[in-house]
Amino acid sequence: MLDCRLDEEHEELRRTVAKFARDVVAPAIAEHYENHTFPYELVREMGRLGLFGLPFPEEYGGMGGGYPALCVALEELARVDSSVAITLEAGVSLGAMPVFRFGTEEQRRRWLPRLCAGQALAAFGLTEPGGGSDAGATRTTARYDVTADEWVLDGTKCFITNAGTDITSLITVTAVTGTAPDGSKEISTILVPADTPGLTVGRPYSKVGWSASDTRELSFTGCRVPGANLLGQRGRGYAQFLSILDEGRIAIAALATGLAQGCVDESVRYASEREAFGRPIAANQAIAFKIADMQTRTHLARLAWRDAAGRMSRGEPFKQAAAIAKLYSSEAAVDNARQATQIHGGYGFMNEYPVARFWRDSKILEIGEGTSEIQRILIARSLGLPQPG
């Protein structure tokens, strides 16, 4: 029988992160969001709480909590703010996790302790201009210079989270390193320290949402790193990032669930206090039913990501469950944000109200780490349906 309840340890973590989000994040984030500034002080506090080390073993400076612990924290953070949540999600599941999953012992011990402590951030250099959902269309190249024992990178990556902060230390980059036996591109993963000559970090994007997170373009021009910076087996980069994205979709689903729950929280509060025609607007069935539908979507989204996380933790196949969770929760977040804004009326369009942030932050959840269309393709493929030619 499916049991998606949290155990005592995860429930204690949930309460701790929820209190941090309410007491520390909520009072500070609006100013960062409005000014498009990165919340370094909040990241430091998350590091002190051990949030960046949640899924990693203690021997690397982690908390030993496993992937579900990360997802619990992401949901509670996103319930208050998504910029802070995506900084954690990208730093852990996309930045540090490839090093843990595929790195050598030397690479793990070099990079993971500071990443787990939140003293440094890592980024995942995958998406390229013109590539979009076709990650296999990678054009960035990494040529191996035998004489110097170095990889030489050339190319451009876009929409990279945590790429240009003052504490960014590492970029994990997918690049074409040759031609596979079947004639396709041989894609490998290379670790590029953030201070490497030849790596140029672009200006922060002007974004619709996630305004307090760091997202930039990266370009590589004759960027040289040691040969030992190959992550995992040469030619396995494509398979590596597909597995990282499968895991990351559970994390994004948890984040989206948090945003959806935040919309419910704010709508209940506002509808109970706001009066029209002599009574709280929550007394109107039209408003009450909207909020009931919002909570229903949130509940189902939570069940979906916890189911996927449970399958992953037990070593069971979870690819389909992760795609379902990501698809449903991201669309639930968008629907809830729209309804929460409607319930708030004109105030929902004012940036000082959290639902305005939720509305701006929700749409990217249907795009990042695999669009809704890609999730539907993955689900259909898992059912054995014929694939389009």
How many structural domains are present in the chain?
3
Digitized pLDDT (tens) for each residue of the chain, 389 residues in all = 456 788 899 999 999 999 999 999 999 999 999 999 999 999 999 999 999 999 999 999 999 999 999 999 999 999 999 999 999 999 999 999 999 999 999 999 999 999 999 999 999 999 998 766 666 678 999 999 999 999 999 999 999 999 999 999 999 999 999 998 888 899 999 999 999 999 999 999 999 999 999 999 999 999 999 999 999 999 999 899 989 999 999 999 999 999 999 999 999 999 999 988 889 999 999 999 999 999 999 999 999 999 999 999 999 999 999 999 999 999 999 999 999 999 999 999 998 899 999 999 999 999 998 999 999 999 999 999 987 76
> Is 218 part of any domain?
yes
CB 171 within 8 A of CB 122: yes
Which of residues 120, 150, 169 is at a domain's end?
Answer: 120
Q: Both 163 and 137 in a single domain? A: yes
Q: What DSSP state is assigned to residue 316?
A: -
Range of the domain at 70: 8-120
Q: Both 82 and 35 in a single domain? A: yes
Q: Measure the CA–CA gap between 338 and 216, rounded to whole angstroms.
A: 27
**3 state SS of 320:** helix
CB 151 within 8 A of CB 144: yes
Which of residues 235, 257, 279 is at a domain's end?
Answer: 235
**3 state SS of 224:** strand
CATH code for the domain of 192: 2.40.110.10
pLDDT in the model for residue 1: 46
Q: Measure the CA–CA gap between 293 and 336, rounded to whole angstroms.
A: 9
pLDDT in the model for residue 387: 78
> Is 72 part of any domain?
yes
Task: List all residues 6 or more positions away from 45 whose beta carbon is below 8 Å from its beta carbon.
Answer: 20, 24
Q: Both 161 and 74 in a single domain? A: no
Q: Apex CA 156: angle with CA 155 and CA 160, to 5°? A: 140
Q: Dihedrals φ, ψ of 79, to 5°? A: -65, -25
> Is 3 part of any domain?
no
Q: Both 223 and 244 in a single domain? A: no
Q: Both 259 and 152 in a single domain? A: no
> Is 388 part of any domain?
no
Q: Measure the CA–CA gap between 338 and 354, rounded to whole angstroms.
A: 13
Q: Both 164 and 200 in a single domain? A: yes
CATH code for the domain of 252: 1.20.140.10
Q: Dihedrals φ, ψ of 20, to 5°? A: -60, -45
DSSP string, 101-129: HH--HHHHHHHHHHHHTTSSEEEEE---T
Give yes or no: 369 in active site. yes
CB 191 within 8 A of CB 225: yes
Q: Both 59 and 82 in a single domain? A: yes
Cα diameter, the chain: 81
Q: Measure the CA–CA gap between 157 and 173, rounded to whole angstroms.
A: 9
> Is 389 part of any domain?
no
Q: Both 248 and 378 in a single domain? A: yes
pLDDT in the model for residue 131: 64
pLDDT in the model for residue 6: 86
DSSP string, 147-202: TTTEEEEEEEEEEEETSSSTTEEEEEEEEEEEE-TTSSEEEEEEEEETT-TTEEE-
Q: Both 96 and 136 in a single domain? A: no
**C-alpha separations of 185 from 151, 219, 234, 243, 328 in Å:** 17, 20, 12, 18, 33
Cβ burial 290-323 (10 Å sphere, 16+ → b, else e): bbeebbebbeebbbbbbbbbbbbeeeeebbbbbb
Calculate the CA 159 to chain-centre distance. Answer: 12
Select which of 217, 266, 331, 369 is catalytic: 369
CATH code for the domain of 83: 1.10.540.10
